[in-house]
């Protein structure tokens, strides 16, 4: 849930609103964005720091697509990793309970995952690379 609003835009505010219904918390955009390499000083518009364009391009190329969404019996995870990177896909319900965790290896680019055993509803997935959450989004299971 820690995405830089300068990269992800209004989706960050929507996700925070949803997340705060479960666990209220205070967000530090300056800290979150700086940790991702998008340098903002959190002051006024005149005093804003410079966005590191190479870091921004790298963030925009985070390679994962999960489809179909909504899904019913199977998910396809299309991703790209550098050699020797490892990743995981974690699927939680809106209460934070983990329903699925699967490892993704750099040798593969596409993985199909059966979800027919999961209850219908709205889930949040996390795409984790080398222990760091790179992307979060919602997934609807019908």
Where exactly are the structural domains of the chain?
A: 1-61, 63-142
85-130 pLDDT, tens digit each: 889 999 999 999 999 999 998 888 899 999 999 999 999 999 999 9
pLDDT, mean of residues 47-73: 69
- Classify domain 63-142 at the CATH class level: mainly beta
Instruction: Give the residue from 96, 132, 92, 89 showing the smallest Cα distance to 113.
Output: 89
Mean pLDDT of the chain: 78
Grouping H, G, I as helix, E, B as strand and the rest as coil, residue 140 is: strand
- The dihedral sign for the CA sequence 12, 13, 18, 19: positive
Instruction: Give the residue from 102, 67, 88 showing the smallest Cα distance to 132.
Output: 88
- CA 16 → CA 20, 87, 131, distances in Å? 6, 24, 22
């Amino acid at each position: 849930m820690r995405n830089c609003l300068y990269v992800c835009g209004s989706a960050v505010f929507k996700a925070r609103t949803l997340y705060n219904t479960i666990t209220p918390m205070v967000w530090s955009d300056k800290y979150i964005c700086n940790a991702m390499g998008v340098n903002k000083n959190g002051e006024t518009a005149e005093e804003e720091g410079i966005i590191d364009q190479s870091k921004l391009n790298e963030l925009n190329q985070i390679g994962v697509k999960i489809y179909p969404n909504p899904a019913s019996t199977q998910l396809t995870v299309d991703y790209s990793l550098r050699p020797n990177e490892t990743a995981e896909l974690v699927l939680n319900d809106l209460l934070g309970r983990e329903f699925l965790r699967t490892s993704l290896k750099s040798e593969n680019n596409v993985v199909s995952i059966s979800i027919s055993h999961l209850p219908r509803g709205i889930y949040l997935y996390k795409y984790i690379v080398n222990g760091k959450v790179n992307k979060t989004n919602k997934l609807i299971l019908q």
